[in-house]
């Protein structure tokens, strides 16, 4: 039974990766666009300062990984609406492999983008160190899975593609701008910083920025991984329960409350970090350090 | 007597206020090609998809190979194959990939190259799904329904919307299945298809089975009548044509008068005489030997294709 689930997940993953590679829009958003942002931000903001370049790499990696949120999870809604899923339903195949293959194929597609972004930053944009590559790898792996699972939740609770797009836009914008992935978190008023601790994206963004700049402590990275990991498990289980094969099968409004359950771990983390944690203090401290190094040490040239 | 492969008893199904099935019962023996013939909205798809485990009946019994389709999981799915009426595949999947993909889900599965050859899809093996014609899509759908070499095959309107020549290609494929000793449940609203392919047919209308039998038995039941269809210059009064010699019944559909006659020559002479006396004129006259269409008209008072 379990071996079948794994086998079917892998079969589906392979075909979905292949289909994604044939989709130009997908390639644009997952590869070309983040690279464009990378060059743009580095040129405008880092002014040759390697520490800042590394920080920006962290932001771009965050955006790339958060892209899993759009990726193949949303495709399931399209598949459902087009009646493609119901063909799969005839085969001896549960919802599990269908959902897990979204996560796995997103991950497989994210890895080359991430590698290219790191290599480009290192060699074309002259970042000095490599950052904490192990931490980056772990955060990317678990982050991509978690954000895929969030995408699955949205796919599960929305009844049409249009609804999916709207909800995704809203959540995506919040993720992007309030997590520190674009504007450094330390620049925001303190109350927004506090609020951002309730958002999963913040744990990915601060984690990756710290890992890329090599400023992260072990315990910080581990908390990030735990927060994202719990989010992943909860989101996956809920989306499995809410999964629908049929275009006509509409979800009753009450079922949407399940989504709030995804928020529970992050509410817990947010409360903890706000009351007892030192994450924000560290974020501010790192930010100051980045600013001061850029004052003290002139950009090194290669 | 062995157990029937498909057993349906007293199926009821409502969608909100629409009563889609109102007590459907029939059974299909091993190796039979069984047809559900009925107009759009009769409840064919609902019935078939209950048997495929895709829909839940409100009440009644559905068994396939003795299993409850809804509750038997993978074991059941390994045994059946189906062409769904409304479904699709990803636009950018290639023909060969699609067959391979589905084959791999099953413990037992056929060879993709053999299937491609058998369904004349060899030269299309690398084409994207979106590039296929309607007929090719349908051949692919049938190939995919057979990847697991199923004992029972469900074909829900496999030729709907295809032009007549392509339809005949699909008939050949289905006839080939007949030789393969598979049990086939086929739905259609084409008379020709039911008559040509099915060992037995259930005529279904408004969620009820109104008659079951071999095509020959059903036609026989319509008392060997000939269908005469005429168009006239002027409308005639209701009931007048039904009084003519040897006419069993007469109905009007959109200006065409359809008469069922036990002795066509007598009826035609009587008709012409009547029209002359009424200074009416015959615009066209066609005669048809008895078909399932006549059975349907007799039983329901409507034509199958409206
Ligand atoms: N998912 C559905 N939701 C609501 N009504 C449906 C649904 N499926 C079928 N119906 C209705 O049930 C009746 C039977 O439909 P169906 O089984 O598709 O008939 P057929 O296949 O013979 O055309 C029709 O009136 C149709 O409109
Ligand atoms: Mg139908």
What is the CATH classification number for the domain harbouring B16?
A: 3.40.50.300
Residues B158 and B50 in one domain: yes
Domain that holds residue B110: 87-150
What pLDDT, on a 0 to 100 scale, did the predictor assign at position A294? 55
For A216-268, write each residue's pLDDT tens digit. Answer: 778 778 888 888 898 899 989 988 888 999 988 888 777 777 777 778 888 88
**Contacts made by residues B159-164, CB under 8 angstroms, sequence distance 24+:** B159/B188, B159/B190, B159/B193, B160/B85, B160/B188, B160/B189, B161/B134, B162/B134, B162/B135, B162/B138
pLDDT digits (tens, 9 = 90+) for B282-299: 999 998 887 777 778 777
B145 lines ligand 1 (CB under 6 A): no
Q: What ipTM was estimated for this complex?
A: 0.86
The answer to whether the Cβ–Cβ distance between B54 and A90 falls below 8 Å is yes
Q: Nearest chain B residue to A18 by CA: give it.
A: B93
Task: Kindly list the averaged pLDDT for each block of 10 residues, start to end, along chain B of length 306.
Answer: 89 95 96 94 96 96 95 92 96 96 94 93 96 94 95 94 88 85 93 91 94 87 78 86 86 88 88 90 88 78 71
For ligand 1, what atom is nearest to the CA of residue B16? 4
Q: pLDDT digit string (tens) for A162-171?
A: 888 898 888 8
Say yes or no to pLDDT of A156 above 50.
yes
* In-domain check, residue A302: no
Residue B99 lies in a domain: yes
Report yes or no on B284 lying in a domain. Answer: yes
**Does B38 contact ligand 1 (Cβ within 6 A)?**
yes
Is the same domain home to B237 and B257?
Answer: yes
Do the domain assignments include residue B13?
yes
Same domain, B58 and B7: yes
Q: Which residues of A touch B144 (CB under 8 A)?
A: 87
CB of B24 closer than 6 angstroms to any ligand 1 atom: no
In a domain, A56, yes or no: yes
Asked if B160 and B208 sit in the same domain, the reply is: yes
Residue B3 shares a structural domain with residue B19: yes
> A293 or A91, which is more confident?
A91
pTM (two decimals): 0.86
**Domain assignment of residue B294, yes or no:** no
> What is the number of structural domains in chain A?
1
Q: What is the mean pLDDT of residues A276-284?
A: 81
Q: What is the pLDDT of residue B223?
A: 60
B23 and B65: one domain? yes
Nearest to B152 by CA among B12, B53, B10: B53
Same domain, B191 and B211: yes
Return the half-sphere exposure (C-beta side, CA atoms, 13 A cut-off) of residue A300: 11
Mutate to test the interface with B, among A17, A91, A245 (most CBs of B within 10 A): A91
Tell me which chain A residue has its CA closest to the CA of residue B82.
A90
Domains: count for chain B: 3
B238 touches chain A (CB under 8 A): no
pLDDT tens per residue across span A38-63: 888 888 887 778 888 888 898 899 99
Is A102 inside a domain boundary? yes
Would you state the pLDDT for residue A293?
Answer: 65
């Amino acid at each position: 039974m379990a071996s079948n689930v794994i086998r079917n997940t892998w079969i589906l993953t392979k075909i979905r990766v292949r289909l994604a590679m044939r989709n130009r829009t997908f390639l644009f958003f997952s590869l070309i666009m983040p690279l464009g942002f990378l060059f743009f931000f580095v040129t405008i903001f880092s002014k040759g300062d390697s520490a800042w370049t590394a920080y920006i790499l962290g932001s771009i990696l965050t955006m790339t990984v958060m892209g899993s949120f759009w990726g193949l999870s949303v495709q399931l809604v399209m598949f459902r609406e087009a009646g493609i899923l119901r063909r799969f339903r005839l085969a001896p195949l549960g919802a599990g492999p269908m959902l897990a293959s979204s996560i796995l194929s997103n991950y497989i597609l994210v890895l080359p983008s991430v590698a290219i972004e790191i290599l480009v930053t290192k060699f074309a944009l002259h970042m000095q160190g490599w950052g904490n590559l192990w931490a980056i790898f772990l955060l990317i792996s678990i982050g991509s899975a978690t954000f895929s699972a969030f995408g699955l939740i949205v796919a599960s609770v929305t009844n049409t593609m249009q609804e999916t797009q709207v909800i995704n836009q809203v959540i995506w914008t919040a993720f992007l701008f309030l997590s520190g992935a674009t504007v450094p978190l330390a620049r925001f008023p303190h109350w927004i910083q506090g609020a951002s601790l309730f958002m999963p994206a913040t744990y990915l963004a601060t984690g990756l920025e710290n890992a890329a700049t090599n400023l992260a402590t072990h315990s910080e990275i581990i908390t990030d991984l735990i927060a994202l990991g719990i989010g992943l498990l909860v989101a996956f289980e809920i989306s499995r329960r809410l999964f629908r094969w049929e275009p006509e099968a509409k979800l009753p409004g009450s079922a949407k409350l399940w989504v709030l359950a995804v928020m529970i771990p992050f509410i817990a983390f947010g409360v903890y970090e706000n009351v007892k944690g030192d994450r924000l203090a560290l974020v501010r401290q790192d930010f100051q350090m980045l600013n001061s190094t850029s004052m003290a040490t002139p950009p090194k040239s290669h | 007597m062995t157990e029937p492969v498909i057993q349906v008893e007293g199926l009821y199904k409502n969608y909100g206020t629409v009563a889609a099935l109102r007590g459907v019962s029939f059974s299909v023996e091993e190796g039979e090609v069984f047809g559900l013939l009925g107009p759009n909205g009769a409840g064919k798809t609902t019935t078939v998809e209950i048997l495929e485990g895709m829909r839940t009946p409100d009440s009644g019994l559905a068994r396939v190979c003795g299993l409850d389709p809804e509750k038997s999981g993978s074991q059941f799915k390994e045994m059946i194959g189906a062409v769904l009426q409304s479904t699709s595949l990803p636009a950018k999947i290639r023909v060969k990939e699609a067959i391979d993909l589905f084959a791999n889900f099953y413990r037992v599965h056929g060879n993709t190259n053999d299937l491609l050859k058998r369904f004349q899809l060899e030269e299309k093996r690398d084409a994207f799904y979106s590039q296929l014609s309607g007929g090719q899509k349908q051949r692919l759908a049938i190939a995919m329904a057979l990847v697991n070499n199923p004992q029972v095959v469900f074909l829900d309107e496999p030729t709907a919307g295809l032009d007549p020549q392509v339809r005949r290609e699909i008939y050949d494929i289905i006839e080939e299945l007949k030789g393969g000793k598979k049990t086939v449940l086929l739905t259609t609203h084409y008379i020709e298809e039911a008559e040509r392919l099915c060992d037995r047919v259930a005529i279904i209308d408004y969620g009820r089975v109104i008659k079951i039998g071999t095509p020959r038995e059903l036609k026989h039941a319509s008392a060997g009548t000939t269908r005469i269809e005429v168009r006239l210059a002027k409308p005639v009064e209701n009931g007048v044509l039904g009084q003519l010699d040897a006419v069993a019944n007469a109905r009007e559909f959109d200006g065409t008068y359809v008469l069922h006659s036990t002795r066509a020559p007598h009826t035609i002479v009587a008709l012409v005489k009547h029209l002359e006396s009424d200074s009416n004129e015959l615009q066209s006259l066609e005669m048809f030997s008895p078909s399932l269409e006549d059975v349907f008209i007799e039983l329901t008072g409507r034509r199958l294709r409206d």
